[in-house]
Amino acid sequence: MSDLAVRTTNIPGLVVIDLPVHGDSRGWFKENWQRAKMTALGLPDFGPVQQNISFNEQTGVTRGIHAEPWDKLVSVATGRVFAAWVDLRAGATHGRVVTLTLGPETAVFVPRGVGNAYQTLEAGTAYSYLVNDHWSPEAKERYTFVQLADPALGIDWPIPLTEAVVSDADRQHPLLSNARPVQPARPAILGAGGQLGKALSNALPDAVALTREQADLAQPETLAQIDWTGVDAIINAAAYTAVDAAETPDGRRQAWASNVSGVANLVRIARERQIPLVHISSDYVFDGTLDEHMEDEPFSPLGVYGQTKAAGDALVATWEQHYIVRTSWVVGQGRNFVSTMAQLAKKGVAPSVVADQFGRLSFTQDIAAGICHLLAVRCPYGTYNLTSSGPVLSWADIAAEVFRVVGASPDDVRRVSTQEYGLGKDMAPRPVHSALNLDKIRAAGFCPPASTIESVLALG
């Protein structure tokens, strides 16, 4: 009896699992899928939802080569097979082949887009598929097939295909050169029309970019209409962010609908489809009494917007495969604090700017780069602070720097207190200190740059 072990192959993501088989005079027993043990050894936590078993009465039954739009764990319940896998995904390993003889002591994890085939070596063989999506006639339209006898694959079937039991459909599949390559999985970006969404779309040009019209968190039916097939990560850059309006009766309802109920729907989708979820958080989940905030600081929001963001964070954290990316003072392409100050400076306006709130700007291209790093490296799931680096400044300090950059006098910026600025205005409470500690994201291998005011102005 071998120990449980996981072995890689020369097809990326195709993994062989050695299964301990416990036998005695009665027969044998094995753990065919053991989530905790197998994922600890590196097997993907692929979230199976359906099991299929193919029983084959004769020796020489040959099935495949099929690549389905889901991951699967294949194994033999009884008998033995000669199995073959072909990488049908677009890319450098397209057409690569792996073959193996399988008995009850071996299972193989087959990632989406890798074609699967087998030939029975014993009569009465039962072949099992554990898959992470439900079969449907619509799903079958997304299969990719390749001919078993394609000489370009060079599969040495133990029983010649001329003598094997093969269905007419399997004999008619196209050659590899004519088969439709399976396109790689890609992330989906919600809120693609916003400042951060645009930066994410630039950083991930192959992503599914969903604007509010296509995916509105406050309208759950829009999320239900999205085809999540082939999505390998959901990046939620959408939110209700009208901080002051959230304090009104109508704004409160909208904030909760988007930032809480809508996020709950995303978490459900991510969990059902076993998709990692990246969720953008905010410094507003804290009251700002600490000079700098760590990821594990308890929530203490001051206003409705912060309360809804904190509630959304708590929901996202219930799904194991999550990245909560906490930011502050976000600026990017389009209208933002930096561009507004630049326009005022060029017009000769001397603005009043708050001088007793402190933090760091988060340039959208820096946030996008950090998110790409988390997903590419598959950093440990959890919460990560992610802003641009550099000194902690007040809003007035930043405004003065913008004035200097565009050639106006920094002294034209009138420094005022939050209380003075809010006189006569219906303003939500703001945290005094919004700076986020960046040690964790740096330890994960991403060092946020100290982007300049010039770089933000260049975005237009």
Give catalytic residues, as residue numbers: 66, 129
- Mapped onto helix, strand or coil, the DSSP state of residue 7 is strand
Distances (CA, A) of 372 to 173, 260, 296, 446: 38, 25, 22, 10
Cα end-to-end distance, the chain, whole Å: 65
CB 332 within 8 A of CB 362: no
d(CA 355, CA 432) in angstroms, rounded, equals 10
Angle at 319 between CA 317 and CA 324, to 5 degrees: 40
d(CA 381, CA 323) in angstroms, rounded, equals 6
d(CA 115, CA 14) in angstroms, rounded, equals 11
Helix (H) or strand (E) holding 98: strand 97-102
* Residue in the structure block whose two tokens are 């039954």: 61
Distances (CA, A) of 144 to 71, 181, 288, 458: 14, 7, 54, 45
CB 239 within 8 A of CB 217: yes
In this structure, how many other beta carbons lie within 10 angstroms of the beta carbon of residue 264?
17
DSSP state string for 152-219: TT----SS-TTTSEE-HHHHTPPPGGGS-PBPPPEEEEETTTSHHHHHHHHH-TTSEEE-TTT--TT-
* Residue in the structure block whose two tokens are 């300090």: 397
Residues 6+ apart with CB under 8 A from 372: 203, 204
Q: Pairing relation of β-strands 165-166 and 61-67?
A: parallel
DSSP state string for 233-246: EEEE------TTGG
Q: Report CA Rg, the chain.
A: 28
d(CA 245, CA 426) in angstroms, rounded, equals 9
